[in-house]
Structure formats: structure tokens, C-alpha cells
Structure 1
């Protein structure tokens, strides 16, 4: 289908997803530097998501994982990432396409991206702050964090 306008929202969303991909690739190659760690939320029903049936039963729509101390075999491709995490002491492998990711947050620097996806059709272009319930160990610093939002650039 031809369009007579440039879809900046789609281009920007894909560029922001590329940021998530690059950060995970850096973690794969070099490990997590300093206090960096990631909360990654994704839709468990999205095409291409692979997880055990018991995890899918526990998280039928959405799941947030934390990559911090105990994760193994992180692999990153252009389209997806896979990782092994322990759930109740049992290692499980997750395969998550980047298009299934709805939020990415690094509390060590208060950086977050949020994506709203519609599994039936195209994604809605709404990057914004990630809503993540942080534990006591991850209290926010006094200074404000940086959140990238496209709302300021949208045509009204």
C-alpha cells in the first residue's frame, strides 16, 4: 500500500527498538557494566515468543524479566533475543522477538522506553516511560531520569 507521507513514528519506533537490541548485544559481549540491569516487559502472546507452558500459564498476556545477576546464554539477533533465567530455581529459556517488547527500563540510570503493541495489526506509536515496580535495592536517585517520548514530535 502506497502512502503519500513519511511514517516518522514507525521509523522512530524501530530506531528505539534498535537501542534495546544494541544494549542487549553489549551485555551479551561484555556483561553488564557497573550497576546496569534491565527490566524487559513483553507480550507472551506475541508471534515468535517461545517459553515453557507453565510460564505461559502463569503469565498469559505479559511478563517482565530482569537481567541482572543470574541469567545465562544471552543471544541477540536482529529480530529477537533469547536468554535463560531461573524461575523457582529451575532454568528456563525465553525467546522474545523485539516486536513483542512493550517496555525496557534500566533503573541504574533511570532510562526507559515503552512501546504499545496491537497483536492484530500495526503497533501504536507510543514510546514513553516504562512503569516498573522497583524493589528496595533499586530506589530512584534524587535527580530526574531520561525518558524518550515521541509525543512532542507528533502532528496535532
Structure 2
């Protein structure tokens, strides 16, 4: 459509801005769907499959046992047995069962690599955003992920799901 001259400089940072806008839109989309699921439950045959980056710089909060088993990536299914906790602006909480044990996960939307609903079918992939060593949570405009789980006694507090 438009030709690009080899000598031109992109002072607007179009590609980076578009990438950032797309990532934000995908996070907003996921947040809206999860808020609706929390409010009304899943309808029909819908199921939400999420591929999550679980590495140390993703901001995902999960038990050491799960991180040991899935150190880089985890696929979760929100279909039959799950409880959505807080669906926040930057992250959400979900309680799932793994090998008979209940686990609370806090998942930043930026850690989601893939979203899919095979009943429709619908899916999208995105590039996960990593938290670098140079970034300090207090310098960001978002709260740091919190460990809201008593890992010593393997108890999930009901306070996690109460609105403040």
C-alpha cells in the first residue's frame, strides 16, 4: 500500500506501540471474559484453556510443588472444577485441583501465552511479558503479586475470595 524508504527513521515507534496496544487489548479481553465467567459461570459447552508462562520472571504465584513440576509453562482448563477468585486489572486468581490437591494460582494476564475455547473454536496467542531484574514492583503502576496462601499448612484462606 505505502512504500517504505530504507533511509526513514520511525520516530513514532509504530511497531512497539502497536505491540503494546495489542498486548493491552488481549489482557482486557481476557479480563472481561473471566469477569463474566466469575459472575455468570460458563455457559453451554464453553471451556477456557490457558497456556501460562510460569518461569521466575512471569509474576505467576503458585506453590513450589507446581513450579517444580511445570517450571516454564502450564496449561490450565477452566471448565468443570475451578473457582475464580479476584479478577483484577493486572491479574486474576483461580483455585484448581492438581492430582487431588487444591491449589491457588495468581496469574498476571501478561503471563498468558495462549487462550483457547475449543467449543467455538476460538483462540489467540500472545507474547508473554517478563518482569526484569531492573524493574521494581513499587516503581510500576500495579501492585506486586501477593502470595495469599498458607503454603506451610496447604490451606487456602476464604478471605481470598471475599470482596474488600
SS at match of 2:20: helix
Residue 93 (1) aligns with residue 101 (2): no
Instruction: Work out which of the two has the higher radius of gyration on C-alpha atoms and give 1 or 2.
Output: 2
Q: Is the 8 A contact 2:58 2:129 kept in 1?
A: no
Q: What is the deviation of 1:118?
A: 5.5
Q: Pick from 30, 39, 58: which aligns with 2:49?
A: 39
SS at match of 1:78: coil
Q: Is the 8 A contact 2:42 2:79 kept in 1?
A: yes
Residue 105 (1) aligns with residue 116 (2): yes
Q: Pick from 6, 11, 22: which aligns with 2:32?
A: 22
CA distance in 1, matches of 2:84, 2:124: 24
Which segments of 5 or more consecutive residues in structure 2 lack a partner in the other structure?
1-10, 133-164
Q: Pick from 65, 68, 75: which aligns with 1:54?
A: 65
Residue 67 (1) aligns with residue 73 (2): no
1:5-25: per-residue Cα shift (whole Å, max 9, x none)? 442222122112211111111
1:119 aligned partner: 130
Q: Which moved more, 1:20-29 or 1:38-47?
A: 38-47
SS at match of 1:82: strand
TM-score, normalised on structure 1?
0.71
CA distance in 1, matches of 2:129, 2:110: 10
Residue 81 (1) aligns with residue 92 (2): yes
CA distance in 1, matches of 2:68, 2:25: 32
Aligned residues, how many?
Answer: 119
Alpha-carbon RMSD across the aligned residues, in angstroms, is 1.6
